[in-house]
Amino acid sequence: MKKRTLYFLYDRLQITSSERKMMYSLTAFVLLLFAAKPFMAETEAFDESFYAPLYEEFQMLAAFSEIENDRMLTQYFPENTTSDSEELNKDPAQKALPEKKINTETVTQSVDVYETSKDSVSAEEQININKATAEELTQLPGVGPAIAARIIEYRDTNGPFESIEEIKNVRGIGEARFEAIKELITV
């Protein structure tokens, strides 16, 4: 019955005898490969010593990312720092990774972008947002280099700020961020 069904399919699909022979030989070759697979020795596709420098670089960059994440969290949420671990109790400015040669450029793995503990502004010394440089603006809590650049761009485009509430027109400064910095800025 199977033979009859096969001949019916060959006739229905209009498969010639040379095509049929090719199908049989390809099927036999595939079956032969499957039968020989247990006898073939599998070789390792990689050498661990080749990937060791890449793994070290990955570990370094992962640690760098974790340190940067801790710094951002302590900047935006200083009250949520836990005292369970000595690592978290350290000042984020003290955490730094050694220099590492990557793509022929020396990269220092310490981040100076969000220094809040030493350079933060007190309520007595307000920053004039019409005259402040980007470095001075980054001393405000929640204002990094990108937002400081936007404040300066807004000031250059639209002229000096008329009131401190006008800073909310800068993209990235909403109600919450304005509430955090309104006591520290002046016009």
Number of domains in the chain: 3
Indicate whether 136 and 97 sit together in one domain.
no
Asked whether residue 22 is domain-assigned, the answer is yes
Q: Are 89 and 111 in contact (CB under 8 A)?
A: no
Indicate whether 55 and 28 sit together in one domain.
no
Indicate whether 76 and 96 sit together in one domain.
yes
Asked whether residue 117 is domain-assigned, the answer is no
Asked whether residue 112 is domain-assigned, the answer is no
Asked whether residue 103 is domain-assigned, the answer is yes
Asked whether residue 120 is domain-assigned, the answer is no
Indicate whether 135 and 174 sit together in one domain.
yes
What stretches in the chain show pLDDT beneath 50?
A: 83-85, 88, 91-118
Beta-carbon count within 10 A of 29 CB = 10
Indicate whether 90 and 135 sit together in one domain.
no
pLDDT at 17: 83
Q: Which domain holds residue 12?
A: 2-39
**The pTM is what?**
0.37
Which residue, 156, 176, 154, is CA-closest to 166?
Answer: 154
Indicate whether 30 and 77 sit together in one domain.
no
Asked whether residue 132 is domain-assigned, the answer is yes
Would strands 105-107 and 100-102 be described as parallel, antiparallel, or unpaired?
A: antiparallel
User: 98-139, pLDDT tens digit by residue?
Assistant: 444 444 333 333 333 333 333 555 556 888 988 889 888 899
- For 127, the 3-state DSSP assignment is strand
- For 162, the 3-state DSSP assignment is coil
